[in-house]
Structure 1
């Protein structure tokens, strides 16, 4: 039975209150619990619940291992993943994540997030973490030590006194809303339409071990994801600026399949596909905040900033932020004075901004030129492959240390044969 004390409305006192039981919340809770800290996780929903962000990056695996969850994930039967494939018209290329510049895991999984997130949370519970499902944070007072006002599913109110709060609420963005931290993203507004399908793919050349990113044949800033799972199912989605998707007719499923069939490769691959889940849409998902952390709270993952799904960086940023925040938080709980800006926010943003460089360059076409370049230098491809594998914090990688300058240099080199 879950530690879901819906009938307990007594006020409690903990070392750390974590808002949200998704990947960043579960990882942070596990790590803190290992170190003997008293943690409570407050999760508004009940698991399993649907979420996008289904193609993990290999970098995630080291955080899963640190949290003592690797065996559970390895045995869960998720789809093995070893890279990414990209296609635009007749151009097709792959990145093998084991052939990368940065040390660390080179393979991972493609997962239905409902099952995956519940597995991480269940494993944390088995380790001794308390997760309260159906509990929502309604208010927070930071005058002294953080005081959270919480409501359970019976609308009963109680308070949690904590020494620190970690916001792992993802797109719920609880603290940014309650503390007025919301800030517009510098990325253009985009929309996504997505669903799950029985893919029934019978093409022998299709590699289920890789996410397939396809570019619309006419609009380079419209792209599709196809994420194969292990049970003849896949996640399919399309992303574009709203005006590019606005004139599609019919319901969401008809709109999605209409634009999917505009990409000949996908149309052929999915000729026998059947939609098995209601289509959903996500609009204006890119987000930012004015403050990532203080000596009383820290924002993890999407609660702080979400860029774009194109390189599947969301779960990696979530887990990276959880690990970095815990490292600083434990020092603070043990009596040290922490500068959260220099010890957490700035180091975290170095990797986030590396991803941002490549996201922006994807949409303006520069990075697409690099990805599809046929005479790629193997060493440079390994460096770029490391970033695509999630290792965006490796300062030894020139494409991390100077992401914009290095990328622009390689963009020019990739253009030269075409200009000659």
Structure 2
């Protein structure tokens, strides 16, 4: 890794998290000059510890799959979801059709650093402790960024780097969408906050079964949110609550942060049994309370890429930790951003069609997950008499989880692994069935559900807040709705990568890929 930030690069990546590091690896493996500027010092703490199996196949594309799988992270064979107190947990089995299709639960400080360093090994120039504090724009077109001003917290230095193309992976704080475009749309019904801590000596869900290592999700019986229970590779269990902000003031009244956190265990049935006599671990950053709390708002930027820039990861959109879509969507957007820019650099596409490709890729993947997450919340918030993910004569959510499997396991975006014996056309049919099922949930409220008038939705009149927000998102992304049912370009890119010519970067084999641009 070079120690001097150059004054010019072909592609500047702002942010060294999973999205930024992944995009940088893809670009560097094509021998494109790329610089990554990350504000924090690695390793740095981060929440979001449970991953989808699809991430393994994204990592295979950049030559990092074996490196990550052999690191020692916790093997995740699936996920269990207890969404009603009177129903057994629903389980989504990642390895049912392919034993190699397991996911991981990770210490994100370690996982993210592996990806960051890997980008450097592929040829990217990577710098942590260097924050981008502002952008400069072309005098001819004030919407086209051409340079970034940076400051180093490690050396007390500052400077400017010029670029041809920009990938904004700055995370939740954002850069383009928050400082310049100001176009983030908040999902009001998912204005949640998360409160969490780590426990030593707790049991793992599924001990003695093939579910061992799976996260366990339990809805709060008071219908205000849910609890996660995730084993990670530092011998702790991450246990947190996601609760809508309108309920937090009342729940926290008269309590310290730690008292508020512990009080939520009192209304659960299964998680306290797993936690047992475990003790809370110290703060992982070595400071303050062992209990963390952060806003967890759901949002999406309208402009995720035009001209010479692309937004990826949490800079572009964040849904919710439910169903663990964060890193998966970061990789989808990062790959889309990288290959769409490669297409321009190689002269295979113009700027406009390349940007349209990225816009569609990211928004299709995001909207599919968004709708499934909203369906989960619609079930949890309705209480014991709310039949959303089940028919009235069903006493489990097994049928629903089988239907939504292509989305919550990530296969809707990557297709089937080549090792699988499945039929890609069948998977395409499954994706269509998933979205047909989800769309029907928001076509009209179920019988007996509370109605909240909302005259601004312009759709079907009276809907509850989840219905309203789901329909509004579909309305804003109406251009992409037909594509929500089937496969998209990301799957095609990943599948075709294995068939392309290979070349060597720093002594390691890399895949040379001619991007597929579909518009």
Same fold at TM > 0.5: yes
Q: Distance in 2 between matches of 1:104 and 1:406?
A: 33
Q: Within the alignment, does 1:232 sit opposite 2:235 as a pair?
A: yes
Q: How do 1:11-410 residues align onto structure 2 when only pairs under 5 Å count? A: 12-87=7-82, 88-91=84-87, 92-99=89-96, 106-143=101-138, 146-153=146-153, 154-188=155-189, 189-201=191-203, 204=207, 207-219=211-223, 221-246=224-249, 247-248=251-252, 249-276=254-281, 277=283, 278-335=290-347, 336-338=349-351, 339-365=353-379, 369-370=388-389, 373-374=394-395, 381-393=401-413, 396=429, 397-399=431-433, 402=436, 404-407=438-441
Which residue matches 1:418? none
**TM-aligned CA distance change 1:295 to 1:199, over 3 Å:** farther
Q: Distance in 1 between matches of 2:188 and 2:95?
A: 31
Question: C-alpha offsets along residues 187-232 of structure 1, whole Å, 9 cap, x if unaligned?
Answer: 421111012221422784684321111011222x410011112443
Q: Distance in 2 between matches of 1:97 and 1:56?
A: 11
Stretch deviating more after TM superposition (369-378 or 242-251): 369-378
Secondary structure of 1:177 counterpart: helix
Q: Distance in 2 between matches of 1:403 and 1:166?
A: 35
Secondary structure of 2:49 counterpart: coil
- CA drift of 1:403 comes to 5.8
- CA drift of 1:317 comes to 0.5
Q: Distance in 1 between matches of 2:178 and 2:24?
A: 23
- CA drift of 1:90 comes to 4.2
Query: What stretches of structure 1 of length at least 5 have no aligned partner?
Result: 416-420
- CA drift of 1:244 comes to 1.8
Question: C-alpha offsets along residues 132-181 of structure 1, whole Å, 9 cap, x if unaligned?
Answer: 11111111123166111111123422111111110111112122223133
- CA drift of 1:42 comes to 0.2
Query: TM-score, normalization: structure 2?
Result: 0.72
Q: Distance in 1 between matches of 2:221 and 2:60?
A: 40
Question: C-alpha offsets along residues 227-266 of structure 1, whole Å, 9 cap, x if unaligned?
Answer: 1124431111101112322232433222112102320211
Q: CA RMSD in A?
A: 2.8
Q: Distance in 1 between matches of 2:57 and 2:36?
A: 22
- State how many pairs are aligned: 405
Higher RCO (CA < 8 A, seq sep 6+): 1
**TM-aligned CA distance change 1:158 to 1:230, over 3 Å:** closer
